[in-house]
Amino acid sequence: MPTVDNREGVRTVAVDRDRDGQRVDNFLSANLKGVPKSAVYRLIRTGQVRVNGKRCKASTRLAENDRVRIPPVRLQQRDEVIVSDAVQEQVRQAVVFENEHLLIIDKPSGMAVHSGSGLPWGLIDALRQSRPGEFLELVHRLDRETSGCLVLARNGKALNHLSAQFREGTPGKFYFCLLDGRLQQDMVEVDAPLAKVENGQRRQVQVTAAGKEAQTRFRRLEAYTAGTLAEAELLTGRTHQVRVHAQHLGTPLAGDALYSSRKSLNKWRKLGLRRLFLHAHRVVLQDPGGGELDISSPLPDTLRRVLDGLE
C-alpha cells in the first residue's frame, strides 16, 4: 500500500506483482498521471526518485515489494486530459490482434505513442480512456510519423515477458519503406553504429563509430522511376534506425522531413506524399501464453495511393 508524507507531499509506493520487472521510468509514468516523460526523467536524474532509499536510473528494473519514493509534481493530472470520443474510437478500430496477454494496434501516422514534448496526450492515453480500468502498458515505441504494428502488454507478467524479448532483440520487426533512389541489389544489409546528437533544437541520430551497434536488412520489393519500395528488417532496435540507415545508403526515406533534403521533400509532395513513408507492417514474437505470433497490418491507403501513381 502507498504511504504519503503529508508534510512534503512525498509518496512511497510499494511495487506489486504486476509491476515486478518494470523499468523505473515506466513505473513513474503510470503513477504520475499526465506528467510528460521529460519531467519524469528529470526527477530521476536529480535524485528525487529513490528505490529502497537509493538513487536509481531510468532503466533500473523494479522487483516486487521494492519501495519507490515519488516526489510531488505540480503538473496537470492525466485524468484531466480528455481525449476526444472520435480519437478513442479511432484507436479502438485500429486494434489488429488481442488476447489475454497483449494487444497489437495499427498505430496511425501522426499520433505519438505517449504524451510529452508539448503533447497533452498520446495513443496510450486514448487507449486507456477507451478501456477504463484495464492494465495497458507500451512494450516498445514507434516514431510519431511512423504507422503500423505497436505492441502493448495487458498484465504485468506479459509486460516482463515482452519487454525482455524486445530488449534482447528477438522479435522480428519488418517495415515497408519507400526509398528516394535506387536500391542496387535485391538485398542490402547495413551494419552501421548509431548515436543520438543535438542539432539545434532537433534531436537526430547519426552513423558514428562511437555509436551503438545497429543492423538493418533492406529487401527490394518494387523498383520505380522515382524510388524503390523496400522491406526493412530491424536486426537491432535503435531510435530512427531505418531512417538513418536509409540515409546512409544515399536513399533517404520518401517524406522524411528530418533526414532528407528539401528538394526530396518537394519531389514527393508533388507525387502526393504528405507523410513519412514508413509502416511497421509485421511483427513476429513469442506469446507470453505460449507459441509464436505473426501479426501484420496492411499498407495504409494514403501510402498505397502514392505507389499506385508511380511508374
Residue 84 sits in which domain range? 80-168
Same domain (yes/no): 303, 221: yes
Q: Is residue 75 part of a domain?
A: no
pTM for the complete prediction? 0.78
What 3-state DSSP class applies to 29? Answer: helix
Q: What is the CATH number of the domain that holds 131?
A: 3.30.2350.10
Q: Is residue 160 part of a domain?
A: yes
Q: Which of 133, 168, 203 is the last residue of a domain?
A: 168
pLDDT at 50 over 50: yes
Q: What is the pLDDT of residues 230-286, one digit of tens each?
A: 999 999 999 999 999 999 999 999 999 999 999 999 999 999 999 999 999 999 999
User: Out of 25, 66, 143, 180, which one is annotated catalytic?
Assistant: 143
Same domain (yes/no): 218, 294: yes
Cell of 166: 524486445
Number of domains in the chain: 3
Same domain (yes/no): 290, 259: yes
Same domain (yes/no): 176, 285: yes
Confidence band, pLDDT 50/70/90 cuts, at residue 5? very low
Cell of 263: 528538394
Same domain (yes/no): 193, 292: yes
Name which of 294, 271, 268 is nearest 281 in CA terms: 294
Active site residue 16: no
Write the DSSP symbol of residue 212.
Answer: B
Same domain (yes/no): 179, 300: yes
Highest-pLDDT range among 29-43, 194-208, 251-265: 251-265
Same domain (yes/no): 272, 176: yes
Q: Which of 36, 70, 104 is the last residue of a domain?
A: 70
Q: Which of 70, 99, 116 is the last residue of a domain?
A: 70
How many Cα atoms within 13 Å fall on the side-chain side of residue 226? 20
Strand partners, 105: 95, 150
As a whole number of angstroms, the distance between CA 133 and CA 79 comes to 12
pLDDT at 118 over 80: no
Residue 201: per-residue pLDDT: 63
Residue % of the chain over a pLDDT of 70: 93
